Amino acid sequence: MATKGAFRVECPHCGDSFDADFWTVVRGDRDLEVKELILSGEFDILMCPKCSEMFQHEEPFLYIDPTRDLLAFVMPEAYQEKKDEWIARMKKDYEPMRAALASGQGVSGEPLFLFGLAPLTAMLETDRDREEETEVMEFMAREDGLQLLPVQPAAARRLDIPFSLPLPAGLKGRAAALKAAQALRDRNDALPRVKNLIDALAALKGDDLPFLKV
């Protein structure tokens, strides 16, 4: 599924130039091996065919994960110097494609414009921690017979809460969700994002749950 493009690169060690393949589109929900390369720092590492030295070469690519509502334009770190220019260019170049992706793939959030792999890696690592904590919370919630409703991924990141919300079966609304989250916290107080969820729910007014996926 990952889409590749070939670009000519020059080896910084011996000066030889050669054509190398780069991912231009990475589907975070399907290209799991490529996602692992990003997380392990091996993404875009090339080996020179002449001198066999390894080096990193960045090319812009699009990272998409509809399941996590993520659409990111990842540009080489060096582009940061002319950040505004590049963002304007990316917006223009990718606009027709972005519109199609957004409607077809269910990515509803605003696209992100990132420079270098570091901000993407940091976000994916935090999401992975959040997924693990969500799984633990969901396991406990199911044991208690609770239902689980998906949270908007962007809201989960902003509030640093789990990707799902526990609710007693048949109930909805903030008060019921708050009670369910407090009960889970009482059983296991080593889940920081469940604590954040309690704080977020306590801070809301009314009985609506605005951060749920609709």
Cβ 17 to Zn ion shortest distance, Å: 9
- Core vs surface per residue 116-135: b (16+ CB within 10 A) or e: ebeebbebbeebeebeebbe
Long-range contacts, 182-190 (Cβ 8 Å, 24+): 183/144, 184/137, 184/140, 184/141, 184/144, 187/140, 188/136, 188/140
Distance CA(139)–CA(80), nearest Å, equals 42
Q: Which CB, 14 or 88, lies closer to Zn ion? A: 14
151 - beta bridge partners?
A: 212
The stretch near Zn ion (CB under 5 A) out of 6-14, 21-29, 34-42, 68-76 is: 6-14
How far, CA to CA in Å, does 119 sit from each of 12, 60, 102?
25, 14, 22
> Residue 8 Cβ, how far from Zn ion at the closest point, in Å?
14
**Which residues 23-82 are close enough to bind Zn ion by CB under 5 A?**
48, 50-51
Interface stretch with Zn ion, choices 9-17, 56-64, 106-114, 134-142 (CB under 5 A) = 9-17
13 near Zn ion, judged by CB under 5 A? yes
We find the least distance from the C-beta atom of residue 22 to Zn ion, in angstroms, to be 17
Nearer to Zn ion, 6 or 14 (CB): 14
Give the interface with Zn ion as residue ranges (CB under 5 A).
11, 13-14, 16, 48, 50-51
